[in-house]
Amino acid sequence: MTDFGTKKGGYTQMKGFRQKAEYALNRVRFLTKQRGVINTCKFIYSRYLYFFKYRINLAGVMTPQELNIQNKGACNYEPIAHYTFNRMLKNINFCWHESTFVDFGCGKGAAILLATRYNFKRYIGVELSPLLVDDCRKNIQKFIGNRVLDYKIVHCNAADYLIEDDVNVFYFFNPFAPSVLKSVLDNIELSLIKRHRKIIILYCNGVDLSLILDRGYKIVYSEDVDPITRYSCGNYALGN
Residue 127 in contact with ligand SAM, rule: CB under 6 A:
yes
Report in angstroms the alpha-carbon separations of 122 from 8, 78, 103, 104, 167.
33, 23, 11, 15, 9
Q: At what angle do helices 37-44 and 17-35 cross, to 10 degrees?
A: 130
Per CB under 6 A, 77 contacts ligand SAM? yes
Interacting residues with ligand SAM between 31 and 50 (CB under 6 A): none
- The helix or strand, by DSSP H or E, that contains position 223, with its residue range, turns out to be strand 218-223
Near ligand SAM by CB under 6 A: residue from 101, 123, 151, 173: 173
**Is-contact 164 195, C-beta < 8 A?**
no
Angle at alpha carbon of residue 172, lines to 168 and 173, rounded to 5°: 150
> According to the binding rule CB under 6 A, does residue 80 interact with ligand SAM?
yes
Residue 180 touching ligand SAM (CB under 6 A): yes
Residues in 150-169 that interact with ligand SAM by CB under 6 A: 157-159
Closest to ligand SAM by CB, 15 vs 203, is 203
Cβ 204 to ligand SAM shortest distance, Å: 7
- Give 111 or 201: the residue with its C-beta nearer to ligand SAM: 111
61 touches ligand SAM by CB under 6 A: no
The C-alpha R_g of the chain, in whole angstroms, comes to 18
Selected from 59, 67, 102, 201, the binder of ligand SAM by CB under 6 A is 67
User: What one-letter code names the amino acid at 48?
Assistant: Y
Indicate whether 59 belongs to the interface with ligand SAM (CB under 6 A): no
Q: What is the DSSP letter of 47?
A: I
d(CA 110, CA 47): 9
Binding residues for ligand SAM, rule: CB under 6 A, are 67, 69, 71, 73-75, 77-80, 103, 105-107, 110-111, 126-129, 132, 157-159, 173-176, 180
